[in-house]
């Protein structure tokens, strides 16, 4: 069985923190699927198409990265794509507490799933999509927080 991981998230927008986790995961898996989730309860700031286009630009030419969108449960998405690993990044103890419960519930829903956590690189520990959105909203410059080669200007 191939070692495929899905990295699920909203990526609203993708940040250097996400990019770092994805690049660090590449040597660990045969393929990384970036799963852009459509969250029923969370109205996104950027459209799904914008979010997907930016991710495509960042990883253009990387054959072992696939970008897919999905709605519904992450475990259902994993099952339908033959994926056994869910990849998540951990920044803080609060992330850990949240991820622990989601990961353990996912394990009950689909026992063959393993959630793999990568510790965030220290320079990205305070970085989140919501902070980037906030800076953008107030007209600030987000260049240092988002991957090179994409332009988020509104
Ligand atoms: P979600 O809404 O599912 O949390 P996000 O797009 O906010 O989606 O995050 C997706 C994943 O990326 C999560 O595992 C999150 O912990 C991780 N992540 C977010 N920001 C960073 C960062 N700065 N460094 C490392 N991982 C991060």
pLDDT digits (tens, 9 = 90+) for 105-135: 999 999 999 999 999 999 999 999 999 999 9
Q: So where are the chain's domains?
A: 4-145
Give, for ligand 1, the residue of 8, 11, 15, 21 to mutate: max count of ligand atoms closer than 8 Å to Cβ: 21
Dihedral sign for Cα 11, 17, 26, 107, please: negative
High-pLDDT (> 90) share of the chain, %: 92
How far apart are the CA of 18 and the centre of ligand 1, in A? 6
With helix as H, strand as E and coil as C, how does 46-76 read?
CCHHHHHHHHHHHCCCCCCEEEEEEECCHHH
Ligand 1 atom closest to Cα of 127?
Answer: 23
> What CATH topology corresponds to 4-145?
Rossmann fold (3.40.50)
Q: How confident is the model at residue 1 (pLDDT cuts 50, 70, 90)?
A: low
Structure tokens, 35? 């799963």
- Angle made by CA atoms 20, 145, 134, in degrees to the nearest 5: 130
Q: How confident is the model at residue 154 (pLDDT cuts 50, 70, 90)?
A: low
């Amino acid at each position: 069985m191939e070692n495929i991981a899905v990295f699920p998230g909203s990526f609203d927008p993708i940040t250097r923190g996400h990019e770092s986790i994805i690049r660090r995961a590449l040597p660990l898996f045969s393929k990384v699927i970036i799963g852009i989730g459509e969250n029923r309860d969370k109205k996104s700031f950027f459209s799904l198409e914008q979010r997907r286009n930016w991710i495509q630009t960042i990883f253009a030419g990387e054959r072992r990265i696939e970008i897919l969108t999905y709605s519904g449960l992450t475990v259902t998405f994993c099952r339908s794509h033959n994926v056994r690993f869910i990849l998540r990044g951990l920044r803080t103890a609060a992330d850990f507490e949240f991820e622990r419960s989601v990961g353990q519930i996912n394990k009950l829903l689909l026992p063959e799933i393993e959630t793999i956590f990568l510790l965030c690189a220290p320079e990205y520990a305070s970085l989140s999509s919501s902070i980037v959105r906030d800076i953008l909203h107030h007209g600030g410059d987000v260049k240092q927080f988002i991957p090179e080669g994409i332009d988020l200007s509104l």
